Amino acid sequence: MRALILGAVAAIAILASAPAFAWSCGGTVRGLSSHYNPATGSGFLAVRAGPRSSASQLGELFNGDEVTIVGQRGSWYRIDAEGVGLGWVFSRYIRSDC
């Protein structure tokens, strides 16, 4: 019985620490330059570790890439993208089906 209670307490602690998103929807990257230049930041959408341009870059997305939008903070979407995983992108470059 004690193990069952401890297991339930651990599960509640894990769920309480995870971010809660009440919705998700699809999106497509659009509006980027067709000329890739990492030195100037053109031709790709940086996926960042946090909702700010100074956050570390986790990966890159390109026009036509599909994402799942799982959250939003201001002008930033929290997304899940194949090959990149979870991260944040500036919402201006995502066409959402929400």
The stretch 76-86 carries a mean pLDDT of: 97
Q: What is the pLDDT of residue 75?
A: 97
Q: What is the pLDDT of residue 22?
A: 62
pLDDT tier at 23, thresholds 50, 70, 90: confident
Q: Which residue has the tokens 């036509």?
A: 64
Q: 39 is written with which tokens?
A: 């030195």
State yes or no: pLDDT of 7 exceeds 90.
Answer: no
pLDDT tens sequence across 32-73? 999 999 999 999 999 999 999 999 999 999 999 999 999 999
Neighbour order of strands in the sheet with 25-29: 57-61, 45-48, 85-90, 76-81, 66-73, 25-29, 94-96
Give the chain's mean pLDDT: 84
